[in-house]
């Protein structure tokens, strides 16, 4: 049965899709509300509750000009902290330490034979989440529309692991990113299966501050592979941990938001949601 939170996200996602498709006409609040079968008052109130800001302020973060401005603002300082141990950014999420511990060669070879993997499903503002963990950290966090498919995909990565559907503390800590009580966030660790190049790209993604955006070319330059922007794009697309490793903050050099593994509408919504959380400002539509 669909929850109210899921229903609200679907309505907001539909509204964002409608606005993107009709950007040149700059649809009014009434038009967008009608498209999602809500009254203007109810739509604005629901949007305010979902995003923490008004539709007008939220949508300011979704246009190309805003993306270009943020890109210019973050370009110079994106990798200033690349040599630091750990991670301490300006965003609230990045006040905590996120540690990537790559799989060992043995774990690659035996398909996770000695791994015990816990997994569960949870709600988020952007749809249902599938999250899995080992005793070392989160190994998967993704949006899901199909429980069996998500489980099968994970089992293909670790065919010999032992699986159990259970919510553990590692998963709970990771899912606190969707709440506003950031004081409850404890140390989050990631246990990821990736090549050396992929791990370098994923570590670089962690340097992007909340509310900031960067390009594939900037990521490539930051890991000392300036010509490898296409390979960077592939590694970004293979990120197994949504949101914790913010691949949604990487856009095209033109300022366009570009594609996203879990859907461009969801990417648009996440960028706007983060910007609204950062600003925490209220405006009238």
Residues taking part in catalysis: 247
C-alpha span between 53 and 45 (Å, rounded): 10
């Amino acid at each position: 049965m669909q929850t109210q939170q899921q229903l609200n996200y679907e309505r907001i996602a539909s509204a964002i899709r409608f606005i993107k498709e009709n950007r040149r006409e700059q649809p009014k609040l009434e038009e967008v509300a009608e498209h999602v079968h809500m009254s203007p008052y109810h739509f604005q109130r629901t949007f305010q509750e979902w995003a923490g800001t008004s539709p007008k302020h939220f949508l300011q973060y979704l246009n190309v000009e805003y993306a270009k401005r943020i890109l210019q603002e973050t370009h110079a300082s994106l990798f200033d902290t690349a040599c630091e141990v750990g991670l301490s950014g300006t965003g609230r999420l990045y006040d905590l330490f996120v540690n990537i511990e790559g799989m060992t060669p043995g774990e690659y070879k035996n398909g996770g034979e000695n791994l015990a993997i816990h997994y569960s499903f949870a709600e988020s503002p952007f749809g249902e989440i599938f999250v899995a963990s080992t005793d070392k950290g989160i190994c998967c966090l993704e949006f899901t529309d199909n429980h069996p498919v998500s489980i099968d995909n994970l089992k293909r990565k670790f065919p010999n692991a032992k699986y159990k559907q259970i919510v553990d503390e590692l998963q709970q800590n990771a899912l606190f990113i969707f709440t506003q009580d950031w004081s409850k966030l404890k140390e989050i660790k990631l246990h990821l299966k990736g090549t050396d190049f992929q791990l370098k790209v994923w570590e670089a993604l962690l340097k992007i501050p909340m509310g900031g955006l960067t390009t594939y070319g900037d990521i490539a330059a930051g890991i000392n592979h300036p010509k490898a922007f296409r390979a960077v794009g592939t590694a970004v697309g293979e990120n197994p941990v949504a949101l914790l490793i913010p691949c949604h903050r990487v856009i095209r050099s033109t300022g366009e938001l570009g594609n996203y593994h879990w859907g461009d509408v969801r990417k648009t919504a996440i960028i706007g949601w983060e910007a609204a959380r950062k600003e925490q400002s209220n405006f009238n539509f």
